[in-house]
């Protein structure tokens, strides 16, 4: 979190007795850093010190309070100006509040309580603004390309180049890739690096919503539109107005709803179920799927016109098995993250463990790698991840040989290496399991050593 600082307050008051009173009142709180001025000119000349609150006497010797207020507002509209005045004219108070004063307080017996209450409210407002700005900055930094998408492989460098293009325009983006490749992460990176980053990012997983509820979820409904619609509901498209809507697993949407979605995208407007009011939209569309939508169009399962409307800038995320040593970089990233979250010392990955990770195809991609790495950290006996700390799905491990295009001889070497690892380099046991002679196995081992397998 951001560090809270003392609240800097300027007091502009020409009455010595009242200045003494305010000095006592504000001095009760050690979090207040107060500076006093007897005229408007000196106050305006010190605005570079960035006060959070200014209590301003309406009747000053050098200029009227409304003029000081207008010049403060012109220099920094975020400063909370509290007018403190002996005048009880309602019209004056209303005009000053319209001109941007945060509050208007009459000088009487209740001034102390009202002033402290107003400053506390202004302080809370300031604190909330700082926290919101901090969170916005944190989110933006979190989704900087190099921080959120880890890797140096040629495939990922191509993704970075496309992301740069995606962030400079409002073009729709279609993100494809196997399950677990990080499609939503890429969508967030696009949003939080675009001009829409301070507006909503709304993610909708089409596959996770029952079909009879998707239309209401996306477009909203009016009260009484159907049984159970007891109140008006704003749809996800309206929620995302001004920002970005991310339609995940768009390939799961049925054809009837595809037609309605197409109209919304074409007209940039939505009508809630059961309503007549047309709501104009300013929404950027990001869509993702693990399916080949072009093939879905050929099969009659996806509308061709919607396909071209969504296609925009296509970004295909490669599976982890095609990203080479990115696997190790990502594994280290997850290890550091896990250690930090659990207040543990940093881990390192032994060379043998790295080789084991590189030989596995990760059918669940980055999501699976995260799970495997976190489990390995739990299983490790010290702060070094060793091969025995890493556990995979056994079926997927055997299938790993099929994910790489190799010669038959290379497949054979990989199979032998797999069984040697499995049976702790027991040559006799491996020869028996593979039904080959021991001398043949030794010959293969010599060949494997020569080619570095």
Picking from 326, 422, 337, 323, the residue whose alpha carbon sits closest to that of residue 373 is 337
Strands 313-316 and 244-248: unpaired
Distance CA 235, CA 229 (A): 13
Q: Are 277 and 234 in contact (CB under 8 A)?
A: no
Phi and psi at residue 229, to the nearest 5°: -85, 80
SS3 of 291, please? coil
Q: Which CATH number fits domain 322-389: 3.40.50.300, 3.40.50.1100, 3.40.50.10470, 1.10.8.60?
A: 1.10.8.60
Distance CA 19, CA 265 (A): 62
Strands 284-289 and 244-248: parallel
Distance CA 366, CA 265 (A): 32
Structural tokens at position 424:
């702790």
- 7-138: what CATH class? alpha beta
Q: Which CATH number fits domain 405-453: 2.40.128, 1.20.120, 1.10.10, 3.30.70?
A: 1.10.10
Q: Are 362 and 319 in contact (CB under 8 A)?
A: yes
Q: Are 309 and 262 in contact (CB under 8 A)?
A: yes
Structural tokens at position 82:
């509290």
Distance CA 422, CA 156 (A): 33
User: Is residue 435 within a helix (H) or strand (E), and if so which, with residue range?
Assistant: none
Q: Are 353 and 392 in contact (CB under 8 A)?
A: no
| pTM for the whole structure | 0.60
Residue ranges of the domains in the chain? 7-138, 150-318, 322-389, 405-453
Q: Hey, which residues does 137 pair with through a beta bridge? A: none
C-alpha distances (whole Å) from 157 to each of 145, 318, 334 are 10, 11, 20
Q: Are both 7-138 and 405-453 of the same fold? A: no
Picking from 51, 71, 47, 49, the residue whose alpha carbon sits closest to that of residue 60 is 71
Give the DSSP letter string of 326-381: HHHHHHHHHHHHHHHHTT-PPPEE-HHHHHHHHH---TTHHHHHHHHHHHHHHH-S
pLDDT tens per residue across all 453 residues of the chain: 444 567 889 999 888 888 888 888 888 888 888 999 999 999 999 998 889 899 998 888 888 888 999 999 898 888 999 998 877 777 778 888 888 888 988 887 777 788 888 888 887 777 777 666 555 555 555 555 556 688 888 888 899 899 989 999 999 999 999 999 999 999 999 998 899 988 999 999 999 998 888 999 999 999 888 887 888 889 999 999 999 999 999 999 999 999 999 999 999 999 999 999 999 999 999 999 999 999 999 999 999 999 999 999 999 999 998 898 999 999 999 999 999 999 999 999 999 999 999 989 898 899 999 999 999 999 999 999 999 999 886 455 444 555 555 677 777 877 887 788 777 778 888 888 888 888 888 888 888 777 666
> What contacts 28, CB < 8 A, 6 or more positions away?
none
Quick one: 150-318 is in which CATH superfamily?
P-loop containing nucleotide triphosphate hydrolases (3.40.50.300)
Structural tokens at position 211:
């079909």
Picking from 248, 249, 218, 252, the residue whose alpha carbon sits closest to that of residue 233 is 218
């Amino acid at each position: 979190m951001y560090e809270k600082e003392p609240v800097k307050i300027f007091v502009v008051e020409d009455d010595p007795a009242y200045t003494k009173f305010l000095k006592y009142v504000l001095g009760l709180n050690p979090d207040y850093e107060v500076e006093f001025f007897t005229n408007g000119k000196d106050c305006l000349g010190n605005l570079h010190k960035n006060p959070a609150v200014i209590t301003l006497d309406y009747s000053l010797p050098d200029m009227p309070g409304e003029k000081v207020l207008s010049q403060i507002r012109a220099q920094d509209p975020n400063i909370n100006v509290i007018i403190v005045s002996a005048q009880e004219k309602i019209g004056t108070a209303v005009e000053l509040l319209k001109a941007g004063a945060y509050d208007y307080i009459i000088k009487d017996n209740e001034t102390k309580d009202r002033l402290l209450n107003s400053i506390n409210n202004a302080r809370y407002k300031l604190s909330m603004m700082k926290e919101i700005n901090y969170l916005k900055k944190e989110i933006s930094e979190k989704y900087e390309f190099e921080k959120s998408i880890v890797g140096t492989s040629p495939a990922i460098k191509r993704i970075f180049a496309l992301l740069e293009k995606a962030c400079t325009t409002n073009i729709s983006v279609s993100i494809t890739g196997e399950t677990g490749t990080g499609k939503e992460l890429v969508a967030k990176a696009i949003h939080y690096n675009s001009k829409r980053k301070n507006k909503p990012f709304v993610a909708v997983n089409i596959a996770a919503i029952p079909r009879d509820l998707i239309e209401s979820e996306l477009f909203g409904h009016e009260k009484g539109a159907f049984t159970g619609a007891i109140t008006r509901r704003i749809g996800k498209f309206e929620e995302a107005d001004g920002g970005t809507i991310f339609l995940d697993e768009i390939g799961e949407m049925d054809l009837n709803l595809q037609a309605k979605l197409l109209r919304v995208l074409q007209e940039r407007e939505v009508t809630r179920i059961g309503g007549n009011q047309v709501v104009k939209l300013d929404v950027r569309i990001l869509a993702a799927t693990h399916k080949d939508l072009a093939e879905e169009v050929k099969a009659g399962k996806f509308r061709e016109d919607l396909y071209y409307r969504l296609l925009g800038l296509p970004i295909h995320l490669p599976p982890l098995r095609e990203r080479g040593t990115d696997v190790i970089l990502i594994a280290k990233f997850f290890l550091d993250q896990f250690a930090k979250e659990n207040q543990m010392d940093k881990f390192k990955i032994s060379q043998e463990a790295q080789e084991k990770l590189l030989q596995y195809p990760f059918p669940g991609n980055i999501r699976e790698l995260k799970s495997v790495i976190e489990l390995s950290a739990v299983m490790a006996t010290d702060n070094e991840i060793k091969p025995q700390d890493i556990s995979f799905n056994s079926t997927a491990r055997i299938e790993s040989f099929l994910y790489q295009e190799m010669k038959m001889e290379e497949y054979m070497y990989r199979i032998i290496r797999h069984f040697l690892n499995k049976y702790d380099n027991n040559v006799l046991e491996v020869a028996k399991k593979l039904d080959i002679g021991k001398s043949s196995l030794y010959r293969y081992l010599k060949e494997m050593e020569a080619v570095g397998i």
